[in-house]
Amino acid sequence: MTDRLARIYAIVIAIVVFFLTWAVVAARPWAEPTAAAKDPRLVALERREARVHRESLRVRTVLEHRYRVYRVKLRERKKQIAAINAANARAAAATTVTSTPSWSAPSAPSVGVVTAPPVTNTHTS
Amino acid sequence: MERHAFRAMGTDVEVLLEAPPTPESLLALASAEQEFHRLEAILTRFDPDSALSRLNAEGTIQPPAELREVVELALGARARTGGRFDPTVHDALVAAGYDRSFELIGSGPITERCSTPAGGRVHVGPALIALEPGVRLDLGGIGKGYAVDRTASLLAAHGPCLVNAGGDLAIRGVPAQESWPIGVETSEGELTLGLASGALATSGSDRRRWNTANGMGHHLIDPRTGRPSDSDLLRVTAVATTAVEAEVLAKALFLAGEREGTAEADDLGVPAVFVTVDGRTRLAGGLE
């Protein structure tokens, strides 16, 4: 009687263990979740984020290049302006000295009649 | 040779620069034009906002340096020419009909006015110019000469150059061909002068003429009469060290007339070309 009861318990337990194992195997907990299982909107958003990031890197590179070129040109331009301003200041100082006519001792510049074709013409002002 | 032309001070301005067409030389030519316009804005009597117009309107001004310098040059020239060159002929010029920019003369009726004698008193102090009541200044010719000198000196840093504002011309530096050939109008055609340095200017009654009720008017006022000169000369071209000096000489020699003018040019050693009203050309001051 006792042996029979024990066998019945053993069979029931074996059946329960069998079904539990089956359920666990059927669930395939070791398998990777598939892409199809992901929300497609989330996937699209992730792709867009990656694209925007790449574009921002490209834009930053272009801007940095353009700014370097601008800085170089600006430095050259400032040098040119400084050189011209210095030359203008020297010339203005020279003009102040040379523009005062002196009739008491006129020193007419060297001039003569030539046959070369004129580079410009003068007439009544 | 770089050539740049523009219009300023009521005339065509031409700038020649013997330099390669680099950005610096092109910038220098643009700066020359800018300098001309800057000086015009100070020295013109046709812009009511110019420093000269404000001086004429109010009788006194704390002048910009350029106005003060040109007034001093003009007063110095008046003293040296015995009043033949006089910046106080403003009212006489207006009375003769030159009351607006020359391009506009003929666009409306010229108001008849009495002529006004010149010789007005002008006080130039350290920081102030004051005019005697009723005196007004015209710096048209000498202002243009001053602008030509300034512009030529500015350009000289970039190479040999020539600045020609109508009849006022200055050169700086010796070009590759050793002198600048410049065409001068004479009664027989064009005479070419080779100028190695300095400046020249032409004054005459053959341009800037207009009709008035009393006949043809022109802009060369004789300060002794306050009326357009009745000189027997049509035009005079004078050579000097600066355009300011050449402008003063040309005007003074024109007003002197043929006989006195040629004698004075010979005495002073001022190379000059005289063209008479009756169509003769005379060279003086060592020109042959």
Query: Å from A79 to nearest chain B CA?
Result: 11
Which of A33-42, A98-107, B32-41 is predicted with the least confidence, judged by mean pLDDT? A98-107
Q: Does B262 touch chain A (CB under 8 A)?
A: no
The pLDDT tens digits for A81-91 are 888 778 777 77
Share of chain B above pLDDT 70, in %: 88
Cβ <8 Å between A125 and B242:
no
For A98-114, write each residue's pLDDT tens digit: 444 334 435 667 788 88
What ipTM goes with this model?
A: 0.72
> What is the reported pLDDT for A99?
42
pLDDT in tens, B59-116: 999 999 999 999 999 999 999 888 888 898 887 777 766 665 655 555 554 454 555 5
Least reliable range by pLDDT among A54-68, A101-115, B230-244: A101-115
Which residue among B154, B192, B198 places its CB closest to the CB of A116? B192
Per DSSP, the residues of chain B read: -EEEEEEETTEEEEEEE-S---HHHHHHHHHHHHHHHHHHHHH-SSSTTSHHHHHHHHSEE---HHHHHHHHHHHHHHHHTTTSS-GGGHHHHHHTT--S-GGGTTSSPPPP---------EEE-SS-EEE-TT-----HHHHHHHHHHHHHHHHHTTSSEEEEETTEEEEES--TTSSEEEEEEETTEEEEEEESSEEEEEEESSSSEEEETTEEEES-EETTTTEE---SEEEEEEEESSHHHHHHHHHHHHHH-HHHHHHHHHHHT--EEEEETTS-EEEETT--
Of A84, A98, A108, the CB nearest to B271: A108
Going from N- to C-terminal start, the domains of chain A cover 36-95
